[in-house]
Amino acid sequence: MAGARAAYERALAIDEAVFGPSHPEVAMVVNNLGRVLHDLGDLVGARAALERTLAIDEAAFGPNHPNVARDVNNLGRILHDLGDLKGARGAFERALRADEAAFGLNHPKVAIRVNNLGLVLHELGDLEGARAAFERALTIDEATFGPDHANVARDINNLGGVLQALGDLTGARAAFERALAIDEAALGRDHPNVASVVNNLGSVLRVQGDLEGAQAAYERALAIDEAAFGSEHPKVATDVNNLGGVLQDLGDLEGARLAYGLALTIDEATFGPDHPKVAIRVNNLGLVLHELGDLEGARAAFERALTIDEATFGPDHANVARDINNLVQFGINPSVV
């Protein structure tokens, strides 16, 4: 990713010299640079890049152009990862309105925007709103592509997530199993999309108490992603982290510690030591260290997570509250809170 950043920065310098700083060609490169900065964990830099892209495209095309909708949607993703869920919701709603005006209410691009809105509504706790969004996206995509398309599987997978959050574990499991069947048929058994759905199926199996089934699901997802991306990819870190969770549930604390440690190592190498994903991994490691009786290691982990999340999100974010709660609920006196 560092190489991609250097390449986009070189392309940007060339395009600025050729076209000037406010040309749509420049906006396209800045947009790509913003995506790489996002992936590298530089959320502030990514936000600045996407805001510059948006300003250029609004000036060139007007506020309701599909390029502007794309920019606003991408900015919404950055705001989401910065913890500004309300800002992300506003961005996704604006992108949705623009694409509805440009393409009509039932276009596949609209389904993508509705899906993104549904995801942030889910996180905001508006589960019924999220459910309605995913059901709308599903209706559009089934009408456009038929019942067995990968986009339909995506919608059903997202719907399964909100059903799980609503406590409908039977409905969630059925949704994940249908999405899995579609993706296996459409994309093959070893496609990364299959791994994502298998991960979600593992999650609901874990909640239902089928720990062996969950472990098998997470191990399958891990095998797919390692084959597709290599052993040091962030998706592999997610798989290993999930596997660590079920190992912890099964009482294999040392196996869980090793899994969380590997996930942490991968994400540190990918995103740097101060990324919010790293804070999640460190938190999980802290939980298993506490169970293993390593209170000093647990405290160091929770305090590191707190430092990362405060720097990323500010002092009043839910992630910060989670970190402080982890310190306090286990009777660990934080040295800095």
Domains of the chain: 1-84 (1.25.40.10)
* Token pair for 14: 């060339």
* Token pair for 255: 């196996």
pLDDT for 334 equals 52
The residue count of the chain comes to: 337
Q: At how many degrees (to 10) do helices 234-249 and 192-207 cross?
A: 20
User: For the chain, percent helix, then strand, then coil, each to nearest 5?
Assistant: 80, 0, 20
Report which DSSP code applies to 98: H
Contact status, residue 286 vs residue 303, Cβ threshold 8 Å: no
Q: Is 62 left (phi over 0), alpha (psi -120 to 50) or beta?
A: left
List own/partner pairs for 42-51 with CB under 8 A and 24 or more apart.
43/78, 43/81, 43/82, 43/312, 44/82, 46/78, 47/75, 47/78, 47/79, 47/82, 50/74, 50/75, 50/78, 51/75
Provide the residue type at 40 as one letter: L
Burial class (CB in 10 A: 0-12, 13-18, 19+), 13: exposed
* Residue spans of the chain under pLDDT 70: 1-2, 331-337
Q: For the stretch 131-169, what's the b/e string if a residue is b when 16 or more beta carbons lie within 10 angstroms of its beta carbon?
A: bbbbbbbbebbbeeeeeebbbbbbbbbbbbbbbbeeebe
Could you tell me which of 94, 139, 101 has the C-alpha nearest to residue 116?
94
Contact status, residue 164 vs residue 172, Cβ threshold 8 Å: yes
pLDDT for 336 equals 42
Distance (Å, rounded) from C-alpha 257 to C-alpha 236?
Answer: 16
Q: What percent of the chain has pLDDT over 90?
A: 81
The pTM assigned to this predicted structure is: 0.84
